[in-house]
Structure 1
C-alpha cells in the first residue's frame, strides 16, 4: 500500500481577525483527516489576527498539526505564498493547499476532489468561482462580469480554458515547484495570475473545480480599476515575451529570502512536538 501524500494547508492572513476564526472553524474532523498540517501565515497584521488564529487553532486542531507563523516583514500575498511554499518543500510535504483567511472560500469544497484523487493526477488543482457548479453569494455583478471577461482574455493568450485567475482555494503538487522558478514573480495580489501563466508555460497539469464563494463582512484591500489595468498590462507583457517575461524581475522590491518565525507549533491532540 502506497503512503498517502503529506498535505500542508497554508492560510495567508492579514487584518482578518474575525474572519480567520471562522476559517479555522471550517476544519472539522473529516477535513483534518486529510491534512497533516495547517499553517496560518500572518503577514505582519497590525491587529490581533495572529492572536485570534492561535486562540481558535489551539482548540480546533485535534487531529492534525497546527502552526502559527509570522512573516519577518510584510511580503504581500505573493510573498506569503513563497514563504509557505519554501517551508513546505523544505519540510518534505507533497502538496500545498492555499485557503485564504478572509472566509470567502470553504475547505469543504476541496474534500470531494481529495476523495476522488484529483490531486494525484494534477499539478495544480484550482478552485473556480465562475464555472458550472460554482456558487456566488454577495458578489457584485460588476465584479462578476469583470472576472469573466479577464478569464476569457487570459484563456485566449494561454490557449487554455481558464475559469478563475485566482480564487481563495487552490492546491499545488510541490515537486514541480522545487526549483523556485517563481521567486521573481510579483509579491502582491497579482502573484496568482502570473503563477497560473507560469504553470501553463511549464506544461503543468492544471485542473479547475467549482467552489462556493461569499462576501459578507470582508474588507477588500484591492483598488478595483487600478488592479484591472495592472493585470491587463501584465497579460500584454506576457503575450509578447512569454518565457522571457516570466524570467524577469517582476517584484517592486526584490527580497533575498522570505523568512518568518513559528510562534506556535502544536501536534495533534494539543501536545507540542
Structure 2
C-alpha cells in the first residue's frame, strides 16, 4: 500500500539519562526529566506545606478552645470581679444583655460599637462581656453568640490584659480611698493602671498627678499608689517588671517628700511676710 499525505510516523527517541532503565519507561524527546534530588525536594516541600496547613488548623482549634475556656471562666467570675469595680452600673449591664438577646447574629464590629457606647475603659468592657457571658450562658449557642463573646473577651485580654487585671486588683483600695474623699474610684484606678503599665518617670508623674487631681491631693494620691504597690508586690503573682515597680515606689516617696518640702517652703515665706503660716517657731 502506498502512503499518501498523512501523519508522519515517528519513533520515540530515548534520552541519554543515566539510570533511565530504573524508571521503568523510556523518555521521549522533548519530555523534561526531573532529577531524583529535585523530586525529593519537591516532595519535601509538599509535605511541609501539608504539615503547615495541619498545624494552622490545630492552632486555630486551640485558639477557639482557649477562648471558650477564658469566656467560661470570666462568666463564672463576673460577680466577684464586679464587686471590685463598683462604678459599673448594673442597669447598663442588663441593657447590654437585653440588646445581645435581640441581636444574636451581630458581627464583631457591631459588638465593638455597642461596647463603645458602654465604656471606653478596657476594664469596664471586659466586665460587661463577662457579665453577658454569664447571663446568656448556653442560650446564645444557637447563633454562636457565646462563641462571639468568648472571642471578644480573648481579644480584649490579649490587647489590654495587664490594665484589666490591675484595674480589678486595685478596686477595693480605690473604694476605700474614695470613701476618704481623696478622689473617685475611676480616676484612682486610671492613674494606678497608667503608671504601672506605662511609667514615664518622676517629672511626668508629678505633672500627671497635679493635672488629674489638683495640687492639694498630690500627697494623698502618692500614698494611695504606695499602698496599691505594696499590695501588688506582696500579692500571689505579678507580671510586672520588678525594676519598674521599684522605680514607681521610689518616685512616689519622692513625690511625697517634694510635696512636703513645697508646703514647708510656702509656709516659711508666709511667716517671713508676717502672714499666719501654721508653722511652729522655735
- TM-score where L is the length of structure 1: 0.26
Report the structure, 1 or 2, having the larger strand content.
Answer: 1
> Over alpha carbons, which structure has the higher Rg?
2
Relative CO higher for 1 or 2, CA cutoff 8 Å, sep ≥ 6? 1
- TM-score where L is the length of structure 2: 0.25
